[in-house]
Structure 1
Amino acid sequence: MQWTALAAAAALFANNVAAQQMLRFACSQLVVERTDPLVNPGMKYTPHLHQIVGGNSFNVTMDPSADPAQKSTCTSCSFVQDKSNYWTAVMFFKHKNGSYIRVPQVGNGGPQGKLINKGGLDVYYIPSGKVTAFQKGFRMLAGVASNTDANKVAKSNICHRCWTSTSEATFVGGAPCSGSDTVEIPSATNCKMIRQTIIFPTCWDGVNLDSPDHQSHVAYGQGSGANGGGACPSTHPKKLPQIMYELMWNITSFDASMRPASGNPFVYSMNIGGAAAHGDYVFGWEGDSLQKAMDNGCTLNQACPKAGLTTQSDSAYSACTKTQQAPESVDGWLAALPLGEPAIKA
């Protein structure tokens, strides 16, 4: 009887999520490199490695007056009109011999259907009532790359899930950042995948397109998790679409015999755990296409004529790549994490 009730609850959750209006689409990796035009504009070999997706006009400086929608000639995301850039830290596995390797990534399944990624991540835009789309020049940051205290992170905004299935298409758990999800990176040996979720603020001060810390011009609403954001405070009254990143890290190739004797073998590229997980966003949708998408109920990764949204095949968006602007080898086993000098092979 208990298992029947659990199965029914899981099915109800899946149906509710699948029915919720949201854009949900795949973005393959544009480039993996040590640049960060939001936090370290103009710098090459920034303090840690990022994976970047989106429009190919991404560059070291990302001048706020330059519109990615006009500058980019392709996007590594499935919606042709989305030339925004999205980036996150990279997860590494530490071998017991001291060497490191990037954890491979796969697309995500779940109630809304499978998405195909070549690396990269899945992006959600979740409206809650009437929302104001981001404006040209808008950018923001979620999370703190130097944070080591999990208690300083709201699990409802940044979390990790131990995916016990060997297939990302087999849904595991409940709503994002709920239940047994954790701020820290799971390290249990029964985990086959690790899903990372980053949920951005949904409330804007209505004036500033950015702020010195890339966070003060936005705020989280009263809601919790991936629900569209909830009511906004008076200091940040403009309701934005809720942006959520989902990443699936496939850890099935790292068996117990490869792990160090102690400690979590999974770390982000800052050589810190899940408390330092973060995501960066630079808006770059063409014209008012995102506002029209939110106003006209466009959903999932489907073409939406009312908003002028068109999609491209996974082979097309995965072919949109960019040469490293801070050249170094980031593939295969590395003697150390890419911190400081360019990385060297193990």
Structure 2
Amino acid sequence: MQWATLAAAALFAQNVAAQGNMLRFACSQLVTERTDPLVNPGMKYTPHLHQIVGGNAFNVTMDPTKDMFAESTCTSCSFKEDTSNYWTAVMFFKHKNGSYHRVPQVGNGGPQGKLFNKGGLDVYYIPSGKVTAFKKGFRMLAGSATNTVDSKVTKANICHRCWTSPSESKFVGGAPCSGTDTVAIPSDPTCKMIRQTIIFPTCWDGKNLDSPNHQDHVAYGQGSGATGGGACPSTHPVKLPQIMYELMWNVTDYSDKSMWPSTGSPFVYSMGIGGAAAHGDYLFGWKDNSLQLAMDNNCNLNADCAKAGLHKQADATYSACTKNQQAVEDTEGWLKEMPMGDKLIKA
């Protein structure tokens, strides 16, 4: 079994290498709050809670005409030149007594080495041949926050993995969204962690920086999984770097089934529903043409890259980049109810 795991990890690394080098870096948590400038611009106390990483210029409106690198004074991501914002829903544990507790996040291991973050997530930019970097003002959404049907989700793009190792540094399984990975959030007391993977479309219409549903201007190519994406359709002919999020939810403290509800999954996202509703939001914010240069010059993993002018920050530096909540409420500890609707009042 150990040899099979190592072989699968090596195969993933080889597949990525065949596409060219990739960026893989950590982003610590900037803020957790109920805002969403992509889907609910200008609104505080949006329908569900998000955990946001990236540049500290993040706000409830996010004017697409502004240069986010110039607006930011720091970023919670490893590369100093990346002030993009990345966010996802928050996972909660539902106790049988009806209360909720936010599931903590940890850094991620893997065949390319451990990444250090304080909460947050890990980001990949995977090229496949010549790619065109995102433009200023570009934004997109992967997944649907209202979906409740697993079969409507392509498992190769959005999935969950039961991580049976007590350490995130010990790689478990094969390539992302393969093997026994599921769309649903695993409900198994042997899971020490649950890894969530969100893979974004890699094909762009070449014209629109956004669309009304934040999805129609992009499309998935013919490829499957984290390979950089396959051939693009004629409607979306421009090949983009493949963005992938990886999150490690530490569920070790919730393995006692006597705490679990009698029916349904003990783990839900902040919309109050399961893995089929997993989604990720992306707002571009790299400095000048640094991302294009990184893709053109095969900048690799989480390291300085002189040809693109990329500078890797110390984990203590990017983890210190935080932002006060704009929608102020205490979402930590045991909650009487999910942070939805009106401002949360704790029991």
TM-score (ref. length: structure 1): 0.97
Q: Tell me how far apart the structure 1 counterparts of residues 109 and 281 of structure 2 sit (CA, whole Å).
A: 23
Task: Give, as a single letter, the amino acid of the residue that structure 2 aligns with 1:222.
Answer: Q
- 1:291 maps onto 2:292 in alignment: yes
- 1:12 maps onto 2:44 in alignment: no
Q: Tell me how far apart the structure 1 counterparts of residues 29 and 115 of structure 2 sit (CA, whole Å).
A: 14
- 1:322 maps onto 2:320 in alignment: no
Deviations 1:119-140 (A, max 9, x none): 1000000000000000000000
Deviation at 1:344, TM superposition (A): 2.2
Q: Give 2:116's aligned residue.
A: 116
Contact 1:17–1:111 (CA under 8 A) maintained in structure 2: no
Deviation at 1:320, TM superposition (A): 0.3
Give aligned pairs, total: 344
Q: Give 1:145's aligned residue.
A: 145
Contact 1:332–1:345 (CA under 8 A) maintained in structure 2: no
Task: Give, as a single letter, the amino acid of the residue that structure 2 aligns with 1:194.
Answer: I
Q: Give 1:249's aligned residue.
A: 249
CA pair 297-337 structure 1, distance change in 2 beyond 3 A: same
- 1:267 maps onto 2:265 in alignment: no
Which runs of no fewer than 5 residues in structure 2 stay unpaired? none
TM-score (ref. length: structure 2): 0.97
Contact 2:16–2:227 (CA under 8 A) maintained in structure 1: no
Q: Give 1:343's aligned residue.
A: 344
Deviations 1:21-55 (A, max 9, x none): 11000000000000000000000000000000000
Q: Tell me how far apart the structure 2 counterparts of residues 292 and 53 of structure 1 sit (CA, whole Å).
A: 23
Q: Give 2:156's aligned residue.
A: 156
Contact 1:18–1:111 (CA under 8 A) maintained in structure 2: no
Deviations 1:210-241 (A, max 9, x none): 00000000000000000001100000000000
Q: Give 1:51's aligned residue.
A: 51
CA pair 334-96 structure 1, distance change in 2 beyond 3 A: same
CA pair 11-73 structure 1, distance change in 2 beyond 3 A: closer
SS at match of 2:185: coil
Contact 1:206–1:238 (CA under 8 A) maintained in structure 2: yes
SS at match of 1:253: helix
Deviation at 1:258, TM superposition (A): 1.4
Contact 1:74–1:83 (CA under 8 A) maintained in structure 2: yes
Q: Give 1:89's aligned residue.
A: 89
Contact 1:18–1:112 (CA under 8 A) maintained in structure 2: no
Q: Tell me how far apart the structure 2 counterparts of residues 8 and 150 of structure 1 sit (CA, whole Å).
A: 29
Deviation at 1:341, TM superposition (A): 1.1
CA pair 8-261 structure 1, distance change in 2 beyond 3 A: closer
SS at match of 1:312: coil
- Sequence identity (%): 75
Q: Give 1:26's aligned residue.
A: 26
Q: Tell me how far apart the structure 2 counterparts of residues 327 and 272 of structure 1 sit (CA, whole Å).
A: 23
Q: Give 1:185's aligned residue.
A: 185
Contact 2:9–2:173 (CA under 8 A) maintained in structure 1: no
Q: Tell me how far apart the structure 2 counterparts of residues 127 and 339 of structure 1 sit (CA, whole Å).
A: 38
CA pair 223-155 structure 1, distance change in 2 beyond 3 A: same
Task: Give, as a single letter, the amino acid of the residue that structure 2 aligns with 1:234.
Answer: S
**Superposition pairs of residues 170-319 of structure 1, within 5 angstroms:** 170-254=170-254, 255-319=256-320
Deviation at 1:251, TM superposition (A): 0.3
Deviation at 1:332, TM superposition (A): 0.5
* 255-264 or 175-184, which deviates more: 255-264
Which runs of no fewer than 5 residues in structure 1 stay unpaired? none
CA pair 344-175 structure 1, distance change in 2 beyond 3 A: same
Q: Tell me how far apart the structure 2 counterparts of residues 6 and 331 of structure 1 sit (CA, whole Å).
A: 39
RMSD of the TM alignment (CA)?
Answer: 1.3
Q: Give 1:76's aligned residue.
A: 76
Contact 1:139–1:283 (CA under 8 A) maintained in structure 2: yes
